[in-house]
Amino acid sequence: MSTVHEHAAHVHVPPDNFMARWVFSKDHKVIGIQYWCLALAAVLVGMVLSLIIRAQLAFPTHNFELLSKIFPNGVAGGAIAPEFYLSMVTMHGTIMVFFVLTTAPMGGFGNYMLPIQIGARDMAFPTLNMLSFWVTFAGFLVIMAAFFVEGGAPLGGWTAYPPLSALGVIASPGQGTGMNLWIVSIAIFCVGSLLGALNFIATTLGLRTKGMSLMRMPLTVWAWFTTAVLALLSFPVLLGAGILLLLDRNAGTSFFIPGGLVVAGEQIDHRGGSPILWQHLFWFFGHPEVYIAILPGMGATSHILATFARKPVFGYRAMVFAIFAIGLLGFFVWGHHMFVSGMSPYTGLAFSLVTLAIGVPSAIKTINWLGTLWGGRIRPTTAMLWSLGFVSLFVSGGLGGIFLGQNAVDLYLHDTYFVVGHFHLIMGVAAIFGMFAATYYWFPKMFGRLLNEKMGKLHFILTFIGVNLIFIPMHGLGMIGHPRRYYDGSLYQFLGGTDGLHTLITWAAFFTVTAQLVFLINLVWGWSKGERAPDNPWDSTSLEWATTSPPPFENFEGDEPEVHHGPYEYSLPGSARDYVMQTDAPSRAPAQGG
């Protein structure tokens, strides 16, 4: 249905100067790697912050000497101050959600692989693509600056609920300049993501090569496309909300600030605003954001499970619809973050029912992943292990949502560690497992060299055990009633029994972070010394494996590839090899898609 050949006419030449080729590049592959590197840098920062958080929770009396040298105010005399602790929590969440979980799956792998997987030479708007990366990068610099301004980083959490976020430094340290920078950073990030989303949508709809019908697209492409639609519809809302919050703080408006506030003995000269309005706007973005983080991981998992089980994806069509259903329902459930916010109880009732309905497409995904494995011949490559781990974490994390989605149960569990454990499992580590799977799977294509499989497997098993030891016990803390974002729970008798769990979680966190060294070593080793990768090291079917590793400037030598097959024709009876590439000559009876 889309035989777009016109764009082959305006062939762009590879730029010959270094800056244009590698820095301000318009090549989607370079931009993809830039995004991926940004995410890697951000995830290292985010992990260090999480260790500081965990250290405080398990060893509150420890003297953190090194930390006090870097942050003489926040960690005066080696003791972590409550406001410093909360700013670590805020920055960990912000950096991870925006600059890791949004950039790596979408900006990184999506940018690199989407055009190649649909047989395009580049994104639809290469200049826009370059801009979207550099805008995002600027956003990262701004958020990092927040650590070092007077008062330090903001402490209101990544959700930035007003009035705490709207009143300035009077409400708490870090809510002054740091909070302004936070809003500016997120606003910039929204713009970058919007540009990227437009590009993804235009590219998917307009630049598919001959024969690449919608139902022949790999599930990865479906996932990125849906993610882009979610981003296009949700980021503008956050951008708008951010601008209103900035105006409340700096221009005397009162969108989110009601009248009659007295903070620290001082009367606040605002009236007429609603703190709950922010929550509606924030979560209208925030819930789709969860799917922006995890849908690409779902796509990669489906793709990789099929490849290494040597089987077609079980129920391809149902998987496409499930991705869409999750995306669509994702826009109607934001209120489940607000069951105890003070909104109408009738609204809570409606949101609860719709939320649990998301269990249906999620169950379809899980059943079909298991179905893909059923009767397969599983090749335990590193990429496959991460994908299997993804399925396991998706189940664990998803089931936590069945508790929290029930308004009545949320009355108790809301804002406890149960929530922290749940969302880390699903949108944190499951999404990251998807990205690790993608990294081990596509690294040979992106860099022309193979990563070390032994190191990869070691990295996997340590991380899999580690993350489970961190986040499953958090559900237990939540059941005991432990509120989240507590600098110190020892004041409370009902939390008396939680020390052991906190210590366990902290050790597991240190263990897991240490295990990531194996990955970093593997990256450096693979990049410099890894075995040369053939074009198709995994016997895969999709278009990226029909070109060289790494692909040439315009992705394919000669003419654009022509597609004759569905994306997952593995172990087709009667075929000589156990896979049929999408570009292989047409068979008499196409088995799938068309």
Partner 1 sequence: MVFLLAMSIWLVTAISVWLLIDAKGQMPVAISDLARSIDSQFMFTLVITGVVFVLAQGLLGWFILKYRDRPGARARFVEGNTTVEIGGAVVIGIIFVGLAVAAQNVWARLHLNEGPADQVVVEITGEQFAWNIRYPGPDGQFGRTLPELYDATNNPMGIVPDDPAGQDDIVVLNTLAVPVNRPVELRLGSKDVLHGFFMPVLRIKQDTVPGMRIPLRFVAEETGNYEIACAELCGLGHYRMRGFLQVMEEPEFRSWLVEQAAQ
Q: Restricting to residues 85-144, which ones interact with partner 1 according to CB under 8 A?
A: 86
Select 266 or 557, whichever has its Cβ closest to partner 1: 266
Q: How far is the CB of 186 from partner 1 (least distance, A)?
A: 17
Q: Which is nearer to partner 1, 98 or 308 (CB)?
A: 308
Q: Are 333 and 351 in contact (CB under 8 A)?
A: yes
Please give the C-alpha separations between residue 525 and each of 124, 159, 293, 308, 450, in angstroms, as whole numbers: 34, 39, 28, 24, 10
Interface stretch with partner 1, choices 3-11, 126-134, 186-194, 345-353 (CB under 8 A): 345-353
Rounded Cα gap, residues 196 and 127, in angstroms: 11
CB 87 within 8 A of CB 153: yes
Is residue 557 a contact residue for partner 1 (CB under 8 A)? no
CA 554 to mean position of chain CA atoms: 28
Taking the complex as a whole, the smallest distance from the CB of residue 264 to partner 1 amounts, in Å, to: 7
Q: How far is the CB of 161 from partner 1 (least distance, A)?
A: 6
DSSP letter assigned to residue 428 = I
**Residue 413 burial (CB count, 10 A):** 20
User: Closer to partner 1 at the Cβ: 8 or 363?
Assistant: 363
Q: By C-beta, is 22 or 492 nearer to partner 1?
A: 492
Coil, strand or helix: which one is 291?
helix
Instruction: Tell me how far apart the alpha carbons of residues 83 and 557 are, in angstroms, rounded to a whole number.
Output: 57
Options 2, 68, 253, 341; binder of partner 1; rule CB under 8 A: 341
Give the one residue of 276, 511, 562, 587 binding partner 1; rule: CB under 8 A: 276
Our CB check for partner 1 shows the closer of 561 and 593 to be: 593
By CB under 8 A, tell whether 353 contacts partner 1. Answer: yes
Contacts of 70 (CB under 8 A, 6+ apart): none
Tell me the CA distances in angstroms from 482 to 220, 420, 491, one per residue in order.
38, 11, 12
Q: Which stretch binds partner 1 (CB under 8 A): 95-103, 401-409, 527-535, 543-551?
A: 401-409
Of 2, 213, 571, 587, the one binding partner 1 (CB under 8 A) is 571
Q: With 0-12 CB in 10 A as exposed, 13-18 as middle and 19+ as buried, what is 504?
A: middle
What is the Cβ-side half-sphere exposure of residue 418, based on CA atoms within 13 angstroms?
A: 21
Does 409 participate in binding partner 1 (rule CB under 8 A)? yes
Q: Rounded to an integer, what distance in angstroms lies between the CA atom of residue 480 and that of residue 494?
A: 8
Q: Pick from 329, 327, 313: which is nearest to 387 by CA?
A: 313
Does 169 engage in binding with partner 1 (CB under 8 A)? no
Binding pattern to partner 1, positions 454-493, x when CB under 8 A?
---x---x--xx--x---xx-xxx-xxx-x-xxxxx-xxx
**How far is the C-alpha of 392 from the C-alpha of 153, rounded, in Å?**
35
CB 591 within 8 A of CB 566: yes
Cβ proximity to partner 1: between 464 and 556 the closer is 464
**Three-state SS sequence of 498-550:** HHHHHHHHHHHHHHHHHHHHHHHHHHHHHHHHCCECCCCCCCCCCHHHHCCCC
Site stretch for partner 1 (CB under 8 A), options 125-133, 400-408, 506-514, 550-558? 400-408
Count residues contacting partner 1 (CB under 8 A)? 118
Residue 448 sits in the site that holds partner 1 (CB under 8 A): no
| Rounded Cα distance, 294 and 223, in Å | 9
User: With CB under 8 A as the contact rule, which of the stretches 36-44, 122-130, 266-274, 536-544 interacts with partner 1?
Assistant: 266-274
Please select the residue that binds partner 1; options are 202, 261, 328, 455, rule is CB under 8 A.
261
Q: How far is the CB of 353 from partner 1 (least distance, A)?
A: 5
Is there binding between residue 586 and partner 1 (CB under 8 A)? Answer: no
Scanning residues 506 to 535, which ones bind partner 1 (CB under 8 A)?
A: none
Q: By CB under 8 A, is residue 379 in contact with partner 1?
A: yes
Of residues 53-92, which lie at the interface with partner 1 (CB under 8 A)? Answer: 81-83, 86
Show the binding pattern over residues 24-53: x = contacts partner 1 (CB under 8 A), - = does not.
------------------------------
Going by the DSSP 8-state scheme, the letter that residue 416 receives in this structure is B
Q: Give me the least distance between CB of 572 and partner 1, in Å please.
A: 6
Query: At its nearest, how many Å lie between partner 1 and the CB of residue 465?
Result: 6
The answer to the question of residue 146 lying near partner 1 (CB under 8 A) is: no
Q: How far is the CB of 97 from partner 1 (least distance, A)?
A: 16
Closest CA relative to residue 463, chosen from 524, 386, 384:
386
- How many CA atoms are closer than 13 Å to the CA of 301, on its beta-carbon side? 29
Q: Which residues of 569-582 are buried (b: 16+ CB within 10 A; e: fewer)?
A: bbbbeeeeeebbbb
Q: Quick check: 397 binds partner 1 (CB under 8 A)?
A: no
Give the nearer residue to partner 1 in terms of CB position, either 8 or 170. Answer: 170
* Distance of closest approach, residue 275 Cβ to partner 1, in angstroms: 6
Member of 200, 255, 283, 570 binding partner 1 (CB under 8 A): 570
Of positions 23, 48, 76, 360, contacts partner 1 by CB under 8 A: 360
Residue 192 or 275 having the CB closest to partner 1: 275
Residue number with CB closer to partner 1 (35 or 314):
314
- CB 417, CB 492: distance < 8 Å: no
User: For tokens 């993610």, what's the residue?
Assistant: 227
DSSP per residue, 91-155: HHHHIIIIIITTIIIIIIIIHHHHHHHTT-SS-S-HHHHHHHHHHHHHHHHHHHHTTTSTT-S--
Give the nearer residue to partner 1 in terms of CB position, either 14 or 380: 380
Site string for partner 1, 293-322 (x = CB under 8 A): ----------------xxxx-xxxxx----
Output 148 or 412, the one with its CB closest to partner 1.
412
d(CA 494, CA 490): 9
CB 84 within 8 A of CB 71: yes
Q: Between 380 and 552, name the residue whose CB sits nearer to partner 1.
A: 380
Span from 134-142, 194-202, 281-289, 387-395 in contact with partner 1 (CB under 8 A): 387-395
Q: Which stretch binds partner 1 (CB under 8 A): 111-119, 352-360, 528-536, 543-551?
A: 352-360
CB of 496 to partner 1, least distance (A): 9
Burial (Cβ within 10 Å: 0-12, 13-18, ≥19) of residue 374: exposed
CA atoms of 594 and 572, how far apart (whole Å): 16
